[in-house]
Every structure is written in structure tokens, then in C-alpha cells.
Homo-oligomer: A and B are copies of this chain.
Amino acid sequence: VRAVILAAGAGSRIRPHFKEPKPLIKLLGLSLLERSILTLRECGISDFVIITGCAEKEIMASLGDGGKYKVDITYLHNPEWEKGNGVSAAAFKKISRPQEKFILTMADHVYSLETVKAFVQAAAGIGHEEILLAADKRLDRVWDLPEATKIQSEGQRALRLGKALSEYDAVDCGLFIGTEALLQALSEAVNRQRYNLTDAVNLLASQGRVKLFPVEADWVDADDLASLRQAEKILLKAALPDKDGLISRTINRKFSLPATKVLSKTAITPNQVTFISFLAALAAAACFILQQPLPGGLLAQLASIIDGIDGEIARLKFLKSSYGSLFDSILDRYADFLIVTGMAWSWFAKIESPAVLLISAAALAGLPMSMLLKEKYHTLTGKVYLPGQDDGFLELLPANRDGRLFIIMLGGVLNWIPAALVVLAAITHLQAVGRLIRLRKLL
């Protein structure tokens, strides 16, 4: 399936605020057009057609042939772009193939990856005589409703579309599965001197040929400064992983997301952030060894917060990699070991007792258990272990990494290192034994 991206318009409402044309405005480190391409690439699309208009040269200079994104980009120029986006969409007819289904989207619309993934998968169910249109029925959630193209629908079909409809129950999200039917409707509309995409879609809607796809997550048509800010918010929220622990959700993400917002605009890579998190842990360990538990504890919490940023940037900028995930997991284990060894050392410096050795060994042994059980579960079942779902009441134990580092932070800040080590040992082994018992039923 090819994707056709309309990037021909002038973006007049936003133009005065930026030096670059609208499709090239950067949002969290990626231009709007780059983000469209990379989002679709994650959904398995590798062939792109970009319809250019007023900023042909700048766009071609910025994206090239797509090689740097590992996709193919073909450019089509629409000299009549000022007439309307229907003329731009119609330009695709020149190179379309018989019975081709294609994804049609706007360079300035921002969606979460999940929305686009689900939409692309729905393409298979669409016939050549109809089209699929992403529509948001959650009217109270639509950004800038007055500016949106409204839809009056019946069941899964659109009846009519328009900005000024008085009765409507959904909003056009600007994402289509196009077919020959759409290209014919576009020609017909242009012949009647109706130059907007909505005119062609209205033609099809009147014949009951516009199927609607319900959008369930936030999206935005980014055509002014406020909507760009809203797009940033939506993207940052979508960069959170599914399986956060309690401390991550309630504390760490409050700090990591604003940091990600800033760092995503720089060239820093997720693996570099992983390494910085490791350095923070190393500094925490050093503080404990130097009998400075307060900064030690705070640095451990900082390492925990930074540990969230690498993944956020990776998801936000499409930089996820297997090696990054491995590197992060292993460095996290080393960070944990170093911090706990530092705490053990600081305790041992005060009391040279075998009890210190035993409790420290128990805490060290507990650290990798959560990951070991989760990874083994994954290799045995092919499914990701989700603590929120698979742990049951064990989820209350703060024995995942966010919880463990929080206990270390408390131990440092309150200068209760022995207590922190005892608690660490207790909760990690309790979790391991609890999971072994629970999995006996689940496996």
C-alpha cells in the first residue's frame, strides 16, 4: 500500500511565526512531514507520494528520496495548489495503478501511532467502490471544533460533510483509504470547479460510499500555534509505555516528560540518555561510598527518572531499537548493583558485621529477579509480562525498578540505609516467590 501525503498548501495561519513552510515545521525534533512518514513507516508503509505545491523545493531538499528514513519518496508537483487540496489529491491520478488502494493524509495532521496502525489495518476491508475515512465521534474531545470539517453520519456511513453543517455527529480527521472511486470523484468535482477534497468526499457520501473508521485517541489538525502546542501534548502522552509502575506513573513521569520535551529537540540519542542515567547511578553509588546518603538517594531517584527518558525519546522520534532495549536493560542491572553495593559499603564502614554481608548479599540477589522472571515468562509464552495485569496483588510490592530506586532514595534521604537494604531484600524475594507461585497456575 502506498501513502499519499498532501503537503501543497501555504499554511497561511501559521506562516508568519516560522521561517520554514508548514510541513517542515519541527515538533519535538521531527518536522510534521517527517512524523507523518515515520508514523506510516511503523505501520508497514514504505512507498510514499508527496504532493507539493508552494514549497516544492524546500520539501524536496529536506526529505530527499527518503533513503535516510529507509522509505521511497516520489514527489508530484501541483502548480494549481492554490485552488484547493482536492486539486492536489487529484494529481495522484497521474501515477495511480489500476484498482490501487492508498492511504491519503495531510502533512499537517498529527495522530498517535496506535490510531494510524489500527486505521491502516482496516484498509483490507474496504471495497474498490468505496473509501474509508477516519472520523472522531468524541465531539467534546475534538480540538478547535469550529475549524473542523463536520460529518453527519448514519451507522458506519457518512451522509454529508462540511465545515458549516448544522447537524453533525462526527469530525473528519483527514485520514483516508482512497480507491479508484475517490480519484473519479475528485476528477468529477474538479470538472465542476469544486476544488476541495471535501467536495469529492461529499459526492461519494451522497451515494453511501464513505465508510467511517472511529478514531478513539486524540489527534490534531496543526494549523496554528495553539494546535501545535496541543499536538506536542498529545505526542508526549502517547510516548508513555503501557507498563509503568506506581512510582513511575505518579512521580517519575512528571519530571521525565518535560525533560523529554526539551531533549527531543536536540540530537541526543536514546542510548546516550541510557548512559547518562547509568552515570547518575554511578554518582549515587559514589555518594553512598563517600558517606553522603542524601545526594546518593537523590541521584538514585534522578537515575530512575532519566531511565524513563530514553524510552520516551525513542518512541517519540521513532528511534526504538533492539540493541537500545538490550543496552538499557543491562546497564540498568549494573546501575542497580553499583548503588546497592555502595550502600552496603557505607553501612559496612560503620559496622563490620557478618549481618551486613548477608543482608547486602540478599538485597543484591533480589535486584535482577523481577527482570529474570519477566523475560523468562516472555520467552516461554511469547507474551510480554505486564505487572499491572499479571502480578495481581503482588503489584502492591514496590519491587520493580521504579519502586526499588524509590526505596533507595528514601533510605538515602532519611539516612536509613540498613532499613532500605532490608526492605529491598524482602520485597524483591517476596515478589519472586509470589510470581513463581502465581505462574504455576498461569503457565
Interface residue A372 (Cβ < 8 Å from any Cβ of B): yes
Is A357 within 8 A of B348, CB to CB? yes
Is B334 within 8 A of A443, CB to CB? no
| B residues in contact with A372, CB < 8 Å | 329-330, 333, 368, 371-372, 375
Interface residue A377 (Cβ < 8 Å from any Cβ of B): yes
Of the candidates B321, B360, B369, B376, which one forms a contact with A357 in the assembled complex, judged by CB atoms under 8 Å apart? B360
Sample 22 A-B pairs with CB under 8 A, ordered by A number. Answer: A323-B440, A325-B376, A326-B373, A326-B377, A326-B443, A327-B436, A330-B369, A330-B436, A333-B372, A340-B361, A341-B358, A344-B361, A345-B358, A348-B354, A349-B354, A352-B352, A357-B360, A360-B361, A364-B365, A372-B372, A372-B375, A375-B379
Is A357 within 8 A of B380, CB to CB? no
- Given A354-B349, A371-B372, A372-B372, also A337-B322 (CB < 8 A): no
Give Cα A361 to B358, complex, Å: 11
Interface residue A191 (Cβ < 8 Å from any Cβ of B): no
Inter-chain pairs besides A321-B443, A344-B357, A375-B376, 5 sampled, C-beta below 8 Å: A325-B376, A326-B436, A334-B365, A341-B365, A371-B372
Q: Which residue on chain B has the smallest CB distance to residue A357?
A: B348
| Least CB distance, A280 to chain B, in whole angstroms | 18
- Given A354-B345, A357-B360, also A323-B375 (CB < 8 A): no
| Least CB distance, A411 to chain B, in whole angstroms | 17
The 7 tightest CB contacts between A and B, nearest first, are A375-B375, A337-B365, A341-B361, A323-B443, A322-B380, A378-B379, A368-B368
Give Cα A376 to B354, complex, Å: 35
| Least CB distance, A422 to chain B, in whole angstroms | 16
Interface residue A131 (Cβ < 8 Å from any Cβ of B): no
Is B361 within 8 A of A337, CB to CB? yes
Is B330 within 8 A of A432, CB to CB? yes
Q: Which residue on chain B has the smallest CB distance to residue A380?
A: B322
Interface residue A381 (Cβ < 8 Å from any Cβ of B): yes
Q: Which residue on chain B has the smallest CB distance to residue A323?
A: B443
Interface residue A439 (Cβ < 8 Å from any Cβ of B): yes
Give Cα A349 to B326, complex, Å: 38
| Least CB distance, A329 to chain B, in whole angstroms | 5
Interface SS, A side: helix
Report copies per complex. Answer: 2
Q: Which residue on chain B has the smallest CB distance to residue A342?
A: B361
| B residues in contact with A443, CB < 8 Å | 321-323, 326
Give Cα A439 to B352, complex, Å: 41
| B residues in contact with A376, CB < 8 Å | 325-326, 329-330, 375
| B residues in contact with A345, CB < 8 Å | 354, 357-358
Give Cα A323 to B377, complex, Å: 9
| B residues in contact with A349, CB < 8 Å | 354
Give Cα A378 to B382, complex, Å: 10
Task: List residues 314-357 of chain A with CB under 8 A from any CB of chain B.
Answer: 321-323, 325-327, 329-330, 333-334, 337, 340-341, 344-345, 348-349, 352, 354, 356-357
| Least CB distance, A443 to chain B, in whole angstroms | 4
| B residues in contact with A369, CB < 8 Å | 330, 333
Give Cα A422 to B432, complex, Å: 28
Is B439 within 8 A of A323, CB to CB? yes
| B residues in contact with A330, CB < 8 Å | 369, 372-373, 376, 432, 436
| B residues in contact with A357, CB < 8 Å | 341, 344-345, 348, 356-357, 360
Among A322, A379, A440, max chain B CB count under 10 A is at A379
| B residues in contact with A354, CB < 8 Å | 345, 348-349
Give Cα A357 to B349, complex, Å: 11
Give Cα A302 to B240, complex, Å: 47
Among A341, A356, A377, max chain B CB count under 10 A is at A341
Of the candidates B361, B378, B380, B432, which one forms a contact with A364 in the assembled complex, judged by CB atoms under 8 Å apart? B361
| B residues in contact with A439, CB < 8 Å | 323, 326
| Least CB distance, A408 to chain B, in whole angstroms | 15
Residues 205-230 of A, flagged 1 when their CB comes within 8 A of B and 0 if not, give 00000000000000000000000000
| Least CB distance, A435 to chain B, in whole angstroms | 9
Task: List residues 83-115 of chain A with CB under 8 A from any CB of chain B.
Answer: none
